[in-house]
Structure 1
Amino acid sequence: MNTEIVADRIYLTPLAVSDADEMVKVLDGEDLYTFTGGSAPTLDELRARYTRQVLGRSADGLQEWHNWIIRVRDDGQAVGYVQATVMDEGRRAEIAWVVGLPWQGRGYASEAAQAMVDRLGSRGVVSVQAHIHPDHAASAAVARRVGLSPTGLFNDGEQLWQHDREKSP
């Protein structure tokens, strides 16, 4: 599943540890962490994170990890990432997206998230979920665009958004 995904204006490349060199700049800026908490990773922290993520699964084997870098088709520049943690024997995925501050507001997150959700669906995932801070209007808009709806359930201050394909008409 971790192969390149091509969309209209962007394409998603499978995560590689070497992406840290470019992504450390994309993920810079304190405002990027307003709703998620934390702070911009250092290059060493990002390389260590990517080293764990490229393994593709949790130590117990119950989760598959799929991570892609969002790149603009015109010039190949990295602008963010999307990720999916697939569980329940491939039937459920927790998804997330981050687009760097200079590239926000251009629809890249929506386009990338939709491309990822389409790929997940083609691989048998029927339930897609995301946890979104209730004040994060931009992420809520992305979630709506990919078919997720708020559930009213909260965990650590974030609301669960969900779409179940098998329940849809």
Structure 2
Amino acid sequence: MLETDRLVLRPLRLADVDAFLALHADDRVNRFVGTYTRDQALVRLETVEKQWADRGHGLFSVHLKTTGEFVGRIGPQFWDEFGEVEMAWTLRAEAWGRGYATEAAQACIDWAFEHLTENYLAAYIHPENAASHRVAQRLGFSVLRHGILFDKPVIVYALNRPTTRA
């Protein structure tokens, strides 16, 4: 579990299926990340749980510290197709514009660089998702390459592991 000033993050799990479905059912959200049927969501959440068990990391569910309300999902996820770990974020539209994505992602980035051996973290962002591009840039990501994810174009950003000074 991770905590920030305003948020609590814990591993995303099968029990989160209803919140996950509601998140992805919103057209404002799924415009860039897609939607899920209940069966697809269960498979996706099983994959997340398996990644936590096998790799020691995966997506977190994001909750407001004051109310416990689910506001999204965020965290490091490994993609076999690319052989790299993506720092992914998707929040409910009602939570946009409040800095939650940046706050939660920074906590996850700090955690990832402390617990994982990756030299960099990637972020796959649809070219038209201006808000996510701004989040990536605020976090220090820079463009690495262009790619395709789930048959959609993405701009792949990278954030290099911080160097330690002696």
| TM-score category of the 2 structures, normalised to the smaller one | 0.7 to 0.9
Structure 1 unaligned spans of 5+: none
Query: Please, which moves more after superposition, 113-122 or 97-106?
Result: 97-106
Please give the residue correspondences for 1:1-169 in structure 2 after superposition, counting only pairs within 5 Å.
4-36=1-33, 38-39=34-35, 41-56=36-51, 65-86=57-78, 93-123=85-115, 124-151=117-144, 153-156=145-148, 157-165=153-161
Q: What SS class does the counterpart of residue 27 from structure 1 fall into? A: helix
- Displacement, 1:48? 2.5
Structure-2 change in CA distance of 1:78 and 1:150 (3 Å): same
Q: What SS class does the counterpart of residue 34 from structure 1 fall into? A: helix
Q: What letter is aligned with 1:130?
A: A
Percent identity of equivalent pairs: 27
Structure-2 change in CA distance of 1:154 and 1:118 (3 Å): same
- Give the Cα–Cα distance (whole angstroms) in 2 for the partners of residues 110 and 51 of structure 1: 26
Q: What SS class does the counterpart of residue 161 from structure 1 fall into? A: strand
Structure-2 change in CA distance of 1:166 and 1:65 (3 Å): closer
Structure-2 change in CA distance of 1:168 and 1:30 (3 Å): farther
Q: What SS class does the counterpart of residue 35 from structure 1 fall into? A: helix
Q: What SS class does the counterpart of residue 18 from structure 1 fall into? A: helix
- Give the Cα–Cα distance (whole angstroms) in 1 for the partners of residues 162 and 60 of structure 2: 26
Structure 2 unaligned spans of 5+: none
Aligned partners of 1:67 and 1:83 also within 8 Å: yes
Q: What SS class does the counterpart of residue 51 from structure 2 fall into? A: coil
Aligned partners of 1:18 and 1:47 also within 8 Å: no
Q: Which has the higher helix share?
A: 2
Aligned partners of 1:69 and 1:82 also within 8 Å: yes
The size of the alignment, in residue pairs, is 158
Q: CA RMSD in A?
A: 2.7
- Give the Cα–Cα distance (whole angstroms) in 2 for the partners of residues 107 and 34 of structure 1: 20
Give the structure-2-normalised TM-score. 0.82
Q: What letter is aligned with 1:136?
A: N
